[in-house]
Amino acid sequence: MAENYFKLLYDVDVSGKVKEKNGLSFLSWAAAWAEIKKRHPDATYKIYHQTITRHVGDENSWYETTFERPWFDDGRSGWVKTSVTVNGIEHIEELAIMNFSNKSIEAEKITSTDATKSFQRAITKACARHGIGLFVYEGEDLPEELKVTAKLQAECMDLMKKKSALSEKTKEKVAEICKEVLADENGDPRICENNEKLEDLKKKLLATRKIA
């Protein structure tokens, strides 16, 4: 049986490429798309368009024109609709067109630049539905307690990566610590929901020094 492609993408470590802006964590669309294409060269993305019909001229002389616009609006605010297809599976993402403060922009004030920025964020989220960088969004709709858990999981993963890079023996020690503290043979903080264990793991990883 073929291995689950979602799990393979979910397990790709992109934590080093995650950035923060206005208090929110994000993965750039370029980083997400690059990781997808490395593993699935036939992957594609799509930007959906809204058909706009307008009357040009005045009441005595006018004609109707129709064109495609790469964003949608309901007369009040706007949004983009994109999708990413991997392994023949299409995941669609719709995202509001927002300003730098993450507030919806009024429909008549939307520019193509605003829409392009939203395309990029929407494509990143569509990639996340396939697994790449999904952890970035896992805390968005969670109760506060679970947001703390998600934060601890991310911090432990970051520490694991940094400490493991010090030396091969340190990497082995880090793996042992994770398995012991989490009482799990995989030693994966992302599947641990016990905050006390995660806090303990974080402290022990912080205290871990390079082993030559």
Please compute Rg for the chain using Cα positions.
22
What is the per-residue pLDDT for 159? Answer: 93
pLDDT digit string (tens) for 88-130?
999 999 999 998 877 899 999 999 999 999 999 999 999 999 9
What is the per-residue pLDDT for 194? Answer: 87
pTM (predicted TM-score): 0.62
Amino acid at 100: F
- Is the pLDDT at 184 greater than 90? The verdict is no
Amino acid at 20: E
| H runs (alpha helix) in 96-136 | 112-129
CA dihedral 138, 142, 145, 150 (to 10 degrees): 0
- Angstrom distance (rounded) from CA 170 to CA 176: 10
- Is the pLDDT at 1 greater than 80? The verdict is no
Give one DSSP letter per residue of 56-87, joined into a string.
Answer: EE-SSSEEEEEEEESSEE-SSBEEEEEEEEET
Mean pLDDT of 61-90: 90
- Angstrom distance (rounded) from CA 212 to CA 210: 6
What is the per-residue pLDDT for 36? Answer: 96
